[in-house]
Structure 1
Amino acid sequence: MISVGDSIRQSAFFKILVIGFLVMLLLIPLIMISSAVYERQSRYYSVKSEIGELFGYDQTIMGPVVTVPYQRFWKDDKDKVHTDLHYAYFLPENLQIRGQLVPETRYRGIYEVVVYRTDLTVSGAFEPPNFGFWKTIQPEHILWDDAYLTIGISDTRGIREALTLNWNKKELPFLSGTRSSLFDKGLHVRLPDLEQLNTTNYEFSFKLNLNGHEQLAFSPVGKETIVELSSSWQDPSFAGSFLPVERVINETGFEARWQVSHLGRSYPQMWNTEMQDSVNLHQEQFNVNLRLPVDFYQKVERSIKYGILFILLTFTTFFLFEIFNPIRIHPLQYLMVGFALSIFYLLLLSISEHLNFSWAYLIASGATIGLIITYGQWVLQSRQRSLIMGGFLVGLYIYLYVLLHLQDYALLFGAIGLFVILALVMFITRRVDWYALHLNQQR
């Protein structure tokens, strides 16, 4: 005689409730593994920051800009005359930057980070500063003797040697600091006798040797800006407001050429203190990145999002074996299989830090499938059923691998896959009488 308690425990509905509870319970290890991914990723970024602090951070080159101070006089309500110091800023007519990026890979423990050295030649020409645009500035109020040229460099610690400006065939040493609110960090050089030079254009050039970390960016401050870079790095990434007009990438490295007109940016060729709030030289930059393709953290994190789905589908397959075969599977055995599926993500994370992601995925999934197949021979009481289970898991992990490498079509592929799986389960169980079903088979 079967008691009411035994009848409940043998009902399919009760088993489904238990399986649902176990699926929710397995959220705990998945959340813990997701936290481990975040922790390892944070550690990687911390190492990158440490190396950047020692060698040089991402570098951004802005300028050069010629700055000429002038005086403004005004009266207060008591007719007392006051003097304010204002500035006029002038950008070059043309700007050419040519050079090489020499990449190096630095290691800190298991982490590797790309740094680089640059050997750049910066040249161009300025038109003589023209204050006629501002009718309120009197010629006698212009402080020509205090004029200077400024370049912005985001991390001046990366400067490898002293810089000298060739200004109309005259050598002028750069000094530290910008003397300007345009840039947070940089260098400046005084421009003596700027007013007395009788020339159509002021030609300039200087060498710039920098240490940096992964990214090198430029601001197109010239009326026409041309940047030509070459490097032995084979996997560059070009980004920013402007892409190269020409680029060649092959097994020997890359060559890229940018050509930018002043018409494509938001700030003018000259402005003064009154217009300063509307000018931002940090806008419309373009850059090249020499980054290592370290995207496995994102892939592992994305794969964990499918963890509950994987566990649910695997448990459903085991449950179907219970329905159509004279076996009983204990909730603890379900839980063991769920833990094996969860540990896959931890294996994937740890192996990915040492091997290519595809190899790490193959090893982690192979180990997980092998473990479940071996365990399934006892749980399912049949080697054939265990192999069927293994085939199902192989298909499931191939499905996940494809999803992780799709970008634009990931949602479509995922939705179609889930629809097909649901349809298959509905087809297999279409003749099951759920009201009459009791899992009362004996081992």
Structure 2
Amino acid sequence: MEQIQKPQQNRFGQWIRTSITARMLMVGFLVIILLIPLQYINSLITERSIRQQDVVNEINDKWGNHVLVYGPILKLPYKTYTETKTFNESTKTYFTETKTHINYAYIFPENLDSEVEANSKTLKRGNFESAVFTTSMNFLGYFKKPNLELKGIKDEDIVWDRLKILIKTSNLKGIKNEMTIQVKNSSYPFETTFNKNSNDGLGYLEELESSHLEDLDFTKSDKANFNFDIIFNGSKSIQIIPIGKATTMTMTSNWADPSFIGNFLPNNETKEITKDGFHADWKILHINRAFSQQYINKIPNLNEFAFGTKFMVMVDEYQKSERSAKYGFLVIGLTFLVFFLIQTMSNINIHPFQYLMIGLALTMFYTLLVSISEHSNFLKAYLVSGISVITLITLYAKSILKTLKFPVFIGLSLTALYTFIYVIIQLENYALLVGSIGLFLILAIVMFVSRKIDWNNN
């Protein structure tokens, strides 16, 4: 009778089960493999974020875009002359023909004061929302009688009865009131004269032009007061350009997270930001900015001198989810490290497939987080996702490790890790510092726990 030979033991399988080095290589390989679904999750978050931005842009475009007001500017026509000499063959003499041309000088106000009040709210479409505002802006100030002699323009060449006032804005469609300007004791309506193909150096701002200021006679008065109001539906930001020789702006709003932007910051002594809104004051003198009060024929692009407030949306749900997903490699790596240390120190065998299931459960946290946060706030989504994943892995660990103390330790470790990541996400200025300190402490704990492992068993 032939003797039945026992199958030869799989040396590779034995090496995987008994060698610390083999286990480390296997765990590292699985971590790298799990980067693939993490990358897909990051792509999903990016796609949803882009979709949100598209919806926000659509809402803002219909409600009103950012607000930039540039004016008022006095548009002053004046005459110039050209002479041409023509030879007459019949008389054998030259005769001179004089032609008159109309050009324009642009005069900025001597003083410009503005009061701005913005009431913000949220508009929603489906799962997405956008922060918008309605702002009431009041402008008052005065023009001085233009003195253009230094520009080579004589008073008698100025067409005083054809004066106009220009106001330029980035958000013409957002204006919600009839536009008129009070100059002295008279009221003048505005009309739209925007030409997109014009090259006036103003960054293609849309233009409002008043009717002729026929009642304004600078030949009899050296000063003209003005006053006008604009109500805008807008989004993103409110800015003005300080074209007054002295320009002031006071802004109040119920928006709790303003970001002051532009070349000039508000007065720190009067600035106030609370959870109910903010108040800010600016004062800019002509010596603070590098442009003139008068221009001939063309105004340069002065948009770079604009200042105001950006209605800053703090880190939104997709940004938080994206920042959270960036720690996915860390979460998977540290969780596998905990299981690896338990396996090594207690001689409990954990199959590679079980590691893979744990890793996939960890990646499911981010898909849950994104999907739930679209219908709730980030904190609730984070709690639901975290509790679900921690509970699933803890119960799975109980079936693998056959004891209670190790699964409880794993559950507490994951709870601490997710809490640590949530704190980092909420921080702005100290995120890097807190994250670095936390990782240092984690490294110290791992080094302390692993000091008793016999690494010679490889």
Corresponding residue number in structure 1 for 2:121: 104
Structure 2 counterpart of 1:68, from 66, 76, 87: 76
Give the whole-Å Cα distance in 2 for the aligned partners of 1:401 and 1:102.
31
3-state DSSP class of the match of 1:283?
helix
Helix, strand or coil: the match of 2:271?
A: strand
Residue 310 (str. 1) matches residue 331 (str. 2): yes
CA contact (8 A) 2:122 2:129 kept: yes
Determine if contact 1:154/1:184 at 8 Å carries over to the other structure: yes
Aligned mate of 1:118, from 122, 135, 147 = 135
1:249 to 1:425, Cα distance in 2 relative to 1, 3 A = closer
Give the whole-Å Cα distance in 1 for the aligned partners of 2:387 and 2:448.
29
- Give the one of 248, 251, 272 matched to 1:229: 251
Q: Which residue of structure 2 aligns with residue 347 of structure 1?
A: 368
Match of 1:50 in 2: 58
The yes-or-no answer on 1:6 pairing with 2:1 is: no
Q: Which moved more, 1:164-173 or 1:2-11?
A: 2-11
C-alpha spacing 1:104/1:5, structure 2 compared with 1 (3 Å): closer
Gap runs ≥5 in structure 2: 1-7, 87-95
1:213 aligned onto 2:220: no
Q: Quote the Cα distance in structure 2 between the aligned partners of 1:110 and 1:387.
A: 37
Instruction: Please give the secondary structure, in 1, of the residue aligned with 2:250.
Output: strand
* Amino acid of the structure 2 residue aligned with 1:265: R
2:379 equivalent to 1:358: yes
**What amino acid does structure 1 have at the position aligned with 2:164?**
Y
Sort the Cα spacing of 1:292 and 1:5 in 2 relative to 1 into closer, same or farther, 3 A: closer
Matching residue's letter, 2:239: A
Partner of 1:161: 177
Q: For residue 318 of structure 1, report the CA deviation from its aligned partner.
A: 0.7
- The answer to whether the Cα contact below 8 Å between 2:167 and 2:208 also exists between their aligned partners in 1 is yes
Matches within 5 A, 1:58-207: 58-70=66-78, 86-135=103-152, 137-139=153-155, 142-178=158-194, 181=200, 182=202, 183-193=204-214, 197-207=219-229
| Counterpart in the other structure of 1:441 | none
- Give the AA of the match of 1:18: M
1:26 to 10, 30, 34: 34
Whether the 8 Å CA contact 2:60–2:130 is kept in 1: the answer is: no
Q: Distance in 2 between matches of 1:48 and 1:4?
A: 60
Within-5 A mapping of 1:311-390: 311-390=332-411
**Larger displacement relative to structure 2 (57-66 or 104-113):** 104-113
Matched, 1:270 2:287: no
Counterparts of 2:83 and 2:343 in 1: how far apart (Å)? 95
1:95–1:222 CA contact under 8 A, matched in 2: yes
Alpha-carbon separation, structure 2, partners of 1:410 and 1:120: 38
Q: Tell me how far apart the structure 1 counterparts of residues 164 and 109 of structure 2 sit (CA, whole Å).
A: 14
CA distance in 2, matches of 1:125, 1:134: 22
Is 1:286–2:307 an aligned residue pair? yes
Contact in 2 for aligned 1:58/1:213 (Cα 8 Å): yes
In structure 2, relative to structure 1, the CA distance for the partners of 1:152 and 1:20 (3 Å cut) is same
Output one character per residue of 1:366-410: Cα deviation in whole Å (capped at 9) or x when no partner. 221111111110122212110011111122112212222333333
Contact kept? 1:95, 1:124, Cα under 8 Å: yes
Task: Determine the C-alpha separation between the residues in 2 that align with 1:368 and 1:190.
Answer: 68
Instruction: Give the conservation status (yes or no) of the 8 Å contact 1:176–1:186.
Output: yes
Please give the alpha-carbon distance, in whole angstroms, between the structure 1 residues aligned to 2:271 and 2:319: 29
Alignment CA distance shift 1:413-1:81 (3 Å): farther
After superposition, what is the alpha-carbon deviation per residue over 1:350-374, rounded to whole angstroms, capped at 9, x for unaligned?
2333333233222222221111111
Deviates more, 1:312-321 or 1:296-305: 296-305
Structure showing greater radius of gyration is: 2
Cα 1:433–1:253 change in 2 (3 A) is: closer
Distance 1:206 1:319, change over 3 A: same
TM-score, normalization by structure 2: 0.85
Tell me what 1:440 maps to: none
- For residues 116-149 of structure 1, what are the alpha-carbon distances to aligned partners after superposition, in whole Å with 9 as ceiling and x for unaligned? 22333221101112112224x4556545454421
Distance between the aligned counterparts of 1:198 and 1:104, measured in 2? 48
- 1:98–1:122 Cα contact (<8 Å) kept: yes
Partners in 1 of 2:97 and 2:401 — Cα distance? 99
Question: Is the 8 Å Cα contact of residues 262 and 304 (structure 2) preserved in structure 1?
Answer: no
- Whether the 8 Å contact between 1:151 and 1:178 is mirrored in structure 2 is no
Alpha-carbon separation, structure 2, partners of 1:415 and 1:375: 31
CA contact (8 A) 2:163 2:212 kept: yes
Contact 1:100/1:230 (8 A) holds in 2: yes
**Cα distance in structure 2, aligned partners of 1:95 and 1:196:** 19
Judged with a 3 Å threshold, the aligned counterparts in structure 2 of structure 1 residues 430 and 75 are, in CA distance, closer, same or farther, namely farther
Q: CA deviation at 1:330?
A: 1.1
Identity of aligned residues (%): 37
In structure 2, relative to structure 1, the CA distance for the partners of 1:85 and 1:199 (3 Å cut) is closer
Q: Specify every segment of 5 or more residues in structure 1 that has no aligned partner in the other structure, as ranges.
A: 438-443
Whether the 8 Å contact between 1:311 and 1:341 is mirrored in structure 2 is yes
| Structure 2: distance between partners of 1:255 and 1:416 | 37
Whole-angstrom distance in 1 between the partners of 2:339 and 2:275: 50
